[in-house]
Amino acid sequence: MKILIPLSERDFTDEFVFSASRSSGAGGQHVNKVSSRIELRFSIQDSKWLNEAEKETLQHKLKNRINSEGQLILTCQESRSQIANKQLVIQKFYDLISTCLKPVKNRTKTKPTRISKLKRLESKRKIAEKKLMRKRDF
């Protein structure tokens, strides 16, 4: 039996591939000269920190963010600094992975209360009366 390590204690940094490019948008000369936009690429299938069930879950939930080579791509261009953008995109990665791997709670079925049924019927009665008042008698 394999012991599961909590996601916060796993270090994916050696599996990240970073690339920098020029940011888009306003910023004048700084944007045109400096490559501050960071792109993080992470191969889910090649990860040694994820088990097979986690890999399947991520592949299913993040299928719109994964390219044809099976890499998850995240970008960040919020800051003027490349280092700050790198830290932000890493934080974005961990947030995304943790939300995807959080188990989904099953919904417990409940019946409507007696008061809620009465309120619903009362509102239906009021609407029916309103529509009856609109009718013209010929």
Sorted by where each begins, the domain ranges of the chain are 7-101
| Dihedral, 98, 99, 105, 106 alpha carbons, nearest 10 | -120
Assign domain 7-101 to its CATH architecture.
Answer: 2-Layer Sandwich (3.30)
CB atoms within 10 A of CB 27: 15
Residue 3's pLDDT band, with cuts at 50, 70 and 90, is low
Q: Give the model confidence (pLDDT) of 41-85 as tens digits.
A: 999 999 988 989 999 999 999 999 999 998 999 999 998 899 999
Interval 73-107: pLDDT, tens: 999 999 889 999 999 999 999 999 999 999 889 99
